[in-house]
């Protein structure tokens, strides 16, 4: 072997020795930190996140029920609806739909809509009665001597027809709502989910690192 070849070979040996020394130093520094500690912490944060998401869902159900009760009692629906909307928009796992057979949209102000429809029917009824009364007075003035079968009857019919009261349609879509919850939210559930993911990554990284160091040091 030539001198240059010997020098190159010795350089490789020295480099490997230095690498193994560094790897051994790294192994000594990290071996007491068990990778499964990270896994345990990840699972703990994961459980906390699941419990917090469940609590979010229960809170959403409670707020949704309050909207229904206030709507039925003709109370302050706007405030109840705003509280529900803000909570759903700010917390994960607050989806309002409970399955494929649930009503859509999930929030419907049924009683408010029915009250408005009935109020419109009452208005039309009252206005129609008023028109009929005015028709009788007008036609009586025009035909004071007319009786049943006379010109007063068609006069009244013409007056009512020309003053027909039209019932306005109440748009039901204005009283139906669908709030979408975020995929992630900065609350307890969201941050615990992030921490769970971080510690799970650290577990995988430490586990792979330990396996690699053992393999390198045993060669």
| Average pLDDT along the chain | 84
Mean pLDDT of 98-124: 85
Question: How many domains is the chain partitioned into structurally?
Answer: 1
Write the CB contacts of 175 (distance below 8 Å, at least 6 apart in sequence): 108, 109, 110, 112, 113
Q: Is 38 inside a domain boundary? A: yes
* Confidence tier at 102 by pLDDT (50, 70, 90): low
Q: Is 154 inside a domain boundary? A: no
Write the CB contacts of 24 (distance below 8 Å, at least 6 apart in sequence): 217
The share of the chain scoring above pLDDT 70, in percent, equals 79
What pTM value is reported for the model? 0.76
Question: What pLDDT was estimated at residue 207?
Answer: 86
Q: Is 7 inside a domain boundary? A: no
Question: What pLDDT was estimated at residue 210?
Answer: 77
Residue-range definition of the domain harbouring residue 197: 33-106+178-219
Tens digit of each residue's pLDDT (9 = 90 or more) over 4-22: 444 443 444 334 444 666 6
Q: Is 163 inside a domain boundary? A: no
Q: Is 100 inside a domain boundary? A: yes
Look at residues 66, 56, 130, 137 and name the one whose alpha carbon lies nearest to residue 91. 56
Better-scored residue on pLDDT, 110 or 18 = 110
Q: Is 152 inside a domain boundary? A: no
Better-scored residue on pLDDT, 122 or 34 = 122
Nearest 5°: the CA angle 66, 68, 73 is 95
Q: Is 58 inside a domain boundary? A: yes
Q: 3-class DSSP state for residue 78? A: helix
Q: Is 140 inside a domain boundary? A: no
């Amino acid at each position: 072997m030539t001198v240059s070849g010997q020098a190159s070979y010795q350089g490789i040996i020295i480099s490997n020795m230095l690498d193994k020394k560094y790897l051994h130093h790294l192994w000594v520094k990290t071996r007491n930190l068990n990778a499964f500690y990270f896994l345990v912490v990840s699972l703990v944060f994961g459980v906390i996140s699941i419990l917090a998401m469940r609590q979010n869902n229960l809170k959403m159900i409670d707020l949704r029920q309050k909207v229904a009760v206030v709507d039925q009692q003709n109370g302050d629906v706007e405030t109840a609806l705003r509280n529900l909307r803000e909570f759903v928009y700010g917390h994960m796992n607050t989806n309002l739909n409970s399955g494929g057979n649930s009503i859509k949209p999930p929030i419907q102000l049924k009683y408010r809509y029915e009250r408005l429809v009935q109020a419109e029917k009452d208005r039309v009824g009252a206005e129609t009665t008023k028109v009929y009364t005015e028709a009788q007075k007008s036609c009586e003035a025009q035909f004071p001597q007319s009786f049943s079968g006379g010109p007063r009857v068609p006069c009244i019919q013409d007056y009512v027809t020309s003053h027909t009261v039209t019932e306005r349609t109440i748009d039901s879509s204005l009283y139906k709502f669908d709030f979408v919850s975020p995929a992630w939210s900065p609350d307890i559930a969201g941050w615990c989910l992030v921490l769970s993911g971080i510690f799970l990554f650290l577990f995988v990284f430490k586990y792979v690192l330990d396996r690699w160091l053992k393999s390198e040091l045993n060669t």
